[in-house]
């Protein structure tokens, strides 16, 4: 059975004390009967301490925001999967739209990052999504299929079970344009269908697919009510404890 997951991607925000205060506040506000897996994705400087704070909590884990495609060596400024895993981090985010756009990461780069992450026992939150131009040109379904197939479909069935998909409608992030829950569900259903075509219904039905398009306490309940949406990769709303917990409680 697939998991419901709410992951908070802090991006390049929060100084050390601010980040630790946020973790404490979220932990204190979580409902005692929480059934959702909560994932914190802070900056690298926070990861070790945040993971220690979450280590003995049920259904609370950490993720790195990025990982190097190289295993080790003279790559100044990079952080390897081996180093991330040595801090007992469970997940890494790979393929976020900002990494693709600003750092020109290709599907082949992301394929290498997926492989090195799985080799080091890091589970992967893999991001995909389309721009406004691609949606308006009606090439978005094929674009998402290419992103997923070129970076993930070389994996064995056993390795694919360690993948979580996060769909990001790039056109609905910080643009003032809002994706409806029906639009989100349409893409999530499509993603599950292409996974089923490659790996079969059992794996497809057990793959968690998260929504990453400006999810907030106002729209979360409607979005999470859809059959193929299993949670959210939350950006700005994850920087406020009350907002983040309200999203978690939306299931």
- How far apart (Å, rounded) are the C-alpha atoms in residues 79 and 105? 16
Spell out the residues 6+ positions from residue 58 whose beta carbon is closer than 8 angstroms to its own. 34
- How far apart (Å, rounded) are the C-alpha atoms in residues 143 and 163? 19
Q: Which of 13, 18, 38, 16 is nearest to 27 (CA)?
A: 38
Positive or negative, the CA dihedral 131, 134, 137, 139 is: negative
Per-residue pLDDT of the chain (251 residues; tens, 9 = 90+): 799 999 999 999 999 999 999 999 999 999 999 999 999 999 999 999 999 999 889 999 999 999 999 999 999 999 999 999 999 999 999 999 999 999 999 999 999 999 999 999 999 999 999 988 899 899 999 999 999 999 999 999 999 999 999 999 988 776 666 689 999 999 999 999 999 999 999 999 999 999 998 899 999 999 999 999 999 999 999 999 999 999 999 99
Kindly list the structural domains of the chain, giving each domain's residue range(s) and its CATH number in brackets, ordered by start. 5-248 (3.20.20.70)
Please identify every residue annotated as catalytic. Answer: 96, 168
φ, ψ (nearest 5 deg) of residue 162 = -95, 10
User: What is the CA angle 228-230-231, rounded to 5?
Assistant: 135
DSSP secondary structure string, the chain? -PPPEEEEE--S---HHHHHHHHHHHHHHS-TT--SEEEEE--HHHHHHHHHHHTTSTTEEEEES---SS-SSS-TT---HHHHHHTT--EEEE--HHHHHHS---HHHHHHHHHHHHHTT-EEEEEE---HHHHHTT-HHHHHHHHHHHHHTTS-HHHHTTEEEEE--GGGSSSS----HHHHHHHHHHHHHHHHHHH-HHHHHT--EEE-SS--TTTHHHHHTSTT--EEEESGGGGSHHHHHHHHTT-
pLDDT digits (tens, 9 = 90+) for 219-233: 999 999 999 999 999
pTM of the model: 0.97
């Amino acid at each position: 059975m697939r998991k419901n997951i709410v992951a908070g991607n802090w991006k390049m925000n929060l100084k050390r004390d601010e980040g630790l205060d946020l973790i404490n506040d979220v932990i204190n506000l979580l409902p005692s009967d929480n059934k959702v897996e909560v994932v914190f994705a802070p900056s690298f400087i926070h990861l070790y301490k945040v993971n220690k704070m979450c280590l003995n909590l049920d259904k609370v884990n950490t993720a790195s925001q990025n990982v190097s495609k190289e295993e080790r060596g003279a790559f100044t400024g990079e952080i390897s999967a081996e180093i991330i895993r040595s801090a007992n981090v469970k997940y890494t985010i790979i393929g976020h739209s900002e990494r693709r756009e600003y750092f020109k990461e290709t599907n082949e780069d992301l394929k290498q990052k997926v492989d090195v992450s799985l080799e080091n026992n890091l589970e992967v939150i893999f991001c995909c999504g389309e721009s406004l131009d691609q949606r308006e040109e009606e090439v978005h379904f094929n674009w998402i299929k290419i992103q997923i197939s070129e970076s993930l479909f070389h994996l064995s069935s056993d390795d694919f079970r360690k993948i979580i998909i996060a769909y990001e409608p790039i056109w609905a992030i910080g643009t003032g344009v809002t994706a409806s829950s029906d639009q989100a569900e349409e893409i999530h259903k499509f993603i599950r269908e292409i996974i089923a075509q490659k790996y079969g219904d059992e794996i497809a039905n057990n793959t968690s697919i998260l929504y990453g398009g400006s999810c907030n306490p106002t729209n979360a309940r409607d979005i999470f009510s859809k059959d193929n949406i299993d949670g959210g990769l939350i950006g700005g709303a994850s920087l406020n404890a009350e907002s983040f917990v309200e999203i978690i409680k939306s299931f």
